[in-house]
Structure 1
Amino acid sequence: MDRDAAIDILRAHEPELQRLGVRHAAVFGSVARGENHAGSDLDVMIEIDEAAVRDVFDYVGVIHFIGDLFPISGMCPIAKCSRRMSSLKQNERPSMLSRRGREACLGIRENVEAAFDFIGGMDAAKFEQDRRTIYAVTRCLEIISEVSRRVDTATKDRHPHIPWQQVSSAGNIYRHEYANVLPLQIWRTVQERLPELLAMCVAELQRADAPGTSG
């Protein structure tokens, strides 16, 4: 893909990019210089609106969306999600939580609670200045991301509002794109996204432990 073709694609999807919080997107690197070849990567630099891209899951969503625009990137599609808390639907058909799913829920719950404990009563400003806490919380988020991949399909289907793709992909962002992750985004991820994950785990574990059920 050459520079003009890449720019045309970005321009054609400018309204969607703006809705996701991308202020500006530009092609750079070998494609922009006209020096690319068959094996070259396509590099896209973005400027994001921090008010719109509030947390790490939002950031992962932007990366996935842009990756989907260019087939050569091989990135996964974005998953649409809502911000409501997790709860089981009333009169939902019973479904057993598998042993693997139970272990995943326990792992997620443990690390969500640890992240809450590390932050304690810190506000965003204090968190941004506390490197030790940032590192500790980021480690919790990495583990949550990894463990989320072990949640079975049936459990994910019962909680479609959880952005499972973003949760599982976020680990790669923490490990490989850490320079692009702002402490404020980490803080918001904990404050705004982890409660629904915790609620999901509590609901599933309570369900599994209810009399007459077994995993």
Structure 2
Amino acid sequence: MPSRDWRFRIQDIVLSINEIKQRTRGVTFEEFTKNQTLVKAVLYDFVVIGEATRNVPNDIQLRYPLIPWRLMGGMRNVVTHEYFQVDLSRVWETIQNDLSSLLPQLQEVLEREISGE
């Protein structure tokens, strides 16, 4: 049995997304790549996102197929196990283009599942 309810894992994802967005706000790609502390903090949050995703039950993931659960877990695997292959331009593209749209989707999951819709 997981150590935490999956709903808390979704909240962890939301928190990590917000932290990534806050840390990178007003930062250029060039500034990002030159700041190893920032890069490592952001990559850690991506690991949290992916690990939390792995703990969301399959039936919940299947109910929300527009959320890229598998990609989120896959990014964690690359950062954790294939760290030497991390493509910072792809990480940056994800930050700029994908994270903001995930927030309302994740909030919907929490709201619908808590209310029992």
TM-score (normalizing by structure 2) = 0.82
Structure with the higher fraction of residues in strand conformation: 1
Q: For residue 146 of structure 1, what is the aligned residue in structure 2?
A: 51
Q: After superposition, what is the alpha-carbon deviation per residue over 1:110-151, rounded to whole angstroms, capped at 9, x for unaligned?
A: 111111111121122221221111110000000100000111
Q: Taking every aligned residue pair, what percent have the same amino acid on both sides?
A: 26
Post-superposition shift, 1:208?
4.3
Residue in structure 2 matched with residue 104 of structure 1 by the alignment:
9
Give per-residue Cα distances to partners, 1:80-100, cap 9 Å, x unaligned: xxxxxxxxxxxxxxxxxxx82
Secondary structure of the 2:26 match is coil
Question: TM-score of the superposition, structure 1-length normalised?
Answer: 0.48
**Residue in 2 that maps onto 1:173:** 78
Could you say which residue in structure 1 is the equivalent of 2:39?
Answer: 134
Write out per-residue CA displacement over residues 37-81 of structure 1, whole angstroms, 9 at most, x where no aligned residue.
Answer: xxxxxxxxxxxxxxxxxxxxxxxxxxxxxxxxxxxxxxxxxxxxx
Aligned residue for 1:184? 89
RMSD of aligned residue pairs (Cα, Å): 1.9
For structure 1, the residue ranges without an aligned partner over 5 or more in a row are 1-98
Cα distance in 1 for residues equivalent to 2:63 and 2:113: 14
AA of the residue aligned to 1:127 = F
Q: Determine which structure has greater relative contact order: mean sequence separation of CA pairs < 8 Å that are 6+ residues apart, divided by chain length.
A: 2
User: Given the alignment, which residue of 113, 123, 126 partners 2:28?
Assistant: 123
The count of corresponding residues between Structure 1 and Structure 2 is 113
Larger of the two Rg values belongs to structure? 1
Does 2:67 correspond to 1:162?
Answer: yes
Structure 2: which 5+ residue stretches go unaligned?
none
Structure 1 ranges of 4+ moved more than 6 A: none
Equivalent residues of 1:119, 1:127 under 8 A apart:
yes
